[in-house]
Homo-oligomer: A and B are copies of this chain.
Amino acid sequence: MPGYTGTKDDYLKRLRRIEGQVRGIARMVDEDVYCIDVLTQVSAVTKALQAVSLGLMEDHLAHCVVDAARESHEAGDAKVREAAEAIARLVRS
């Protein structure tokens, strides 16, 4: 089971809200809303996505990475390397 199993419903609720927000941005663009107001909404969605990522990352560290570390050094090292790459993508996006 993935690390986020315990908080799955919360993530689904947040993702549905984000989906609705993206639809809302499209509506703003369709209605020629002022650029700065559209940009403000896009920043809000980016922040919401960031919060989802940070939550998923913590769940992953707390379950998948920690469990692998207890299993063996090799398994732990591989999971840490993988998590570090995901953190880098998160920081650079």
| A interface residues, Cβ below 8 angstroms from B | 1-5, 8, 11-12, 15-16, 18-19, 22-23, 25-26, 29-30, 32-36, 38-40, 42-47, 49-50, 52-54, 56-62, 64-66, 69-70, 76-77, 80-84, 86-93
Looking at chain A's contact residues, the main secondary structure is helix
Check A90/B43 contact, CB under 8 A, given A2-B34, A32-B2, A69-B70: yes
Question: Are the C-beta atoms of A60 and B86 separated by less than 8 Å?
Answer: no
Residue of B nearest to A23 (CB): B19
Q: How far is the CB of A77 from chain B (nearest CB, A)?
A: 7
Copies of this chain assembled into the complex:
4
Which of chain B's residues have a CB closer than 8 A to the CB of A81? 58
Given contacts A18-B22, A49-B49, contact A35 B58 (CB under 8 A): no
